[in-house]
Structure 1
Amino acid sequence: MQTNFTADQLADPQTAASERILRACVHCGFCTATCPTYLLLGDELDSPRGRIYLIKDMLESGRPATEEVVRHVDRCLSCLSCMTTCPSGVHYTHLVDHARAHIENTYERPFTDRLLRATLAKILPYPGRFRLALMAARLARPLSGLAAAVPAVGTRLSAMLALAPKRLPRPQPRGPARPATGAKGRVAILEGCAQPVLNPGINAAARRVLVRHGIEIVTPRGEGCCGALVHHMGREHDGLAFARRNIDAWSAEIEAGGLDAILITASGCGTTIKDYGFMLREDPAYAAKAARVSALAKDVTEYLATLDLAVAPRATNPVVAYHSACSMQHGQKITDLPKTLLRKAGFTVKDVPESHICCGSAGTYNLLQPEISGRLRERKVKNIARTGADVIAAGNIGCMVQIGLGTGTPIVHTIELIDWATGGPMPEALAARAA
Structure 2
Amino acid sequence: MQTNLAQWAKDSPDGKVIDEILRKCVHCGFCQATCPSYQILGDELDSPRGRIYLIKEMVEGQAPTTITQTHLDQCLTCRNCETTCPSGVEYGKLLDIGRELVDEKVKRSFSGRLKRKVLAKGLNSALFGLSVRAGRRFRSVLPERLAGKLPLARAPGRLPDSVHARKVLLPLGCVQPDLMPSIDAASIRVLDAVGISAYNFPVRACCGAVNFHLDETQSALQQMRHNLDTWVPLLETGKIEAIVMNASGCGAFVKEYPFHFRHDPVYLEKAHYLLEHVKDIAEVLAPHAAELGKKLQNKLPDPVAFHPPCTLQHWQGLRPLTEKLLAELGFNLTVFGEANLCCGAAGTYSLLQPEIALPLRDRKLAAIDSGGQVKAIITSNMGCMSHLQSGTPKPVRHWIEVVDDGLST
Shorter chain as denominator, the TM-score bin is over 0.9
- 1:222 deviates by 5.1
Work out whether residues 344 and 350 of structure 2, in 8 Å CA contact, stay in contact via their aligned partners in 1. yes
Out of 297, 318, 322, the position equivalent to 1:314 is 297
Number of aligned positions between the proteins: 405
Letter in 2 for 1:164: L
2:34 corresponding residue in structure 1: 34
Work out whether residues 26 and 87 of structure 2, in 8 Å CA contact, stay in contact via their aligned partners in 1. yes
Which secondary structure does the structure 2 equivalent of 1:189 belong to?
Answer: coil
Structure 2 CA distance, aligned partners of 1:217 and 1:62? 52
1:207 corresponding residue in structure 2: 188
Unaligned ranges ≥5, structure 2: none
- What is the TM-score when the length of structure 1 is the normalising length? 0.87
For each residue in 1:305-362, what CA deviation from the matched residue of structure 2 results, as whole angstroms up to 9, or x when unmatched?
1235332353534211110101101110111222211221122111232101111000
Work out whether residues 177 and 218 of structure 1, in 8 Å CA contact, stay in contact via their aligned partners in 2. no
Tell me whether 1:405 sits opposite 2:390 in the alignment: yes
For each residue in 1:206-242, what CA deviation from the matched residue of structure 2 results, as whole angstroms up to 9, or x when unmatched?
1111122111321447551001112123322122111
Which secondary structure does the structure 1 equivalent of 2:287 belong to?
Answer: coil
- The percentage of counterpart residues that share the same residue type is 41
Which secondary structure does the structure 2 equivalent of 1:349 belong to?
Answer: coil
1:85 corresponding residue in structure 2: 84
Structure 2 CA distance, aligned partners of 1:334 and 1:295? 15
Work out whether residues 22 and 52 of structure 1, in 8 Å CA contact, stay in contact via their aligned partners in 2. yes
Which secondary structure does the structure 2 equivalent of 1:321 belong to?
Answer: strand
> After the TM superposition, which residues 34-433 of structure 1 pair with which residues of structure 2 at under 5 Å, given as runs?
34-61=34-61, 63=63, 65-126=64-125, 128-138=126-136, 141-144=139-142, 159-165=145-151, 167-169=152-154, 175-176=160-161, 178-179=163-164, 183=165, 185-220=166-201, 224-307=205-288, 309-310=291-292, 311-318=294-301, 319-386=303-370, 387-421=372-406, 423-424=407-408
Which secondary structure does the structure 2 equivalent of 1:322 belong to?
Answer: strand
Work out whether residues 222 and 249 of structure 1, in 8 Å CA contact, stay in contact via their aligned partners in 2. no
The two structures, once aligned, show a CA RMSD in angstroms of 2.1
- 1:144 deviates by 4.6
- 1:255 deviates by 2.6
Work out whether residues 205 and 419 of structure 1, in 8 Å CA contact, stay in contact via their aligned partners in 2. yes
Letter in 2 for 1:83: E
Structure 1 CA distance, aligned partners of 2:408 and 2:49? 47
- 1:143 deviates by 4.5
Work out whether residues 365 and 388 of structure 2, in 8 Å CA contact, stay in contact via their aligned partners in 1. yes
Change (3 A) 1:215 1:313: closer
Work out whether residues 140 and 161 of structure 1, in 8 Å CA contact, stay in contact via their aligned partners in 2. no
Work out whether residues 220 and 253 of structure 1, in 8 Å CA contact, stay in contact via their aligned partners in 2. no
Which secondary structure does the structure 2 equivalent of 1:291 belong to?
Answer: helix
- 1:419 deviates by 2.6
Change (3 A) 1:137 1:220: closer
Letter in 2 for 1:70: Q
Structure 2 CA distance, aligned partners of 1:201 and 1:140? 22
1:155 corresponding residue in structure 2: none
Work out whether residues 322 and 352 of structure 1, in 8 Å CA contact, stay in contact via their aligned partners in 2. no
Work out whether residues 264 and 297 of structure 1, in 8 Å CA contact, stay in contact via their aligned partners in 2. yes
Change (3 A) 1:282 1:175: farther
- 1:259 deviates by 3.2
Change (3 A) 1:254 1:83: same
Work out whether residues 176 and 208 of structure 1, in 8 Å CA contact, stay in contact via their aligned partners in 2. no
- What is the TM-score when the length of structure 2 is the normalising length? 0.93
Which secondary structure does the structure 1 equivalent of 2:394 belong to?
Answer: coil
Work out whether residues 21 and 90 of structure 2, in 8 Å CA contact, stay in contact via their aligned partners in 1. yes
Letter in 1 for 2:305: A
Letter in 1 for 2:321: L
For each residue in 1:38-76, what CA deviation from the matched residue of structure 2 results, as whole angstroms up to 9, or x when unmatched?
11111100100000101111233274x311101111110
Unaligned ranges ≥5, structure 1: 146-157, 426-435
Work out whether residues 73 and 96 of structure 1, in 8 Å CA contact, stay in contact via their aligned partners in 2. yes
Structure 2 CA distance, aligned partners of 1:309 and 1:405? 35
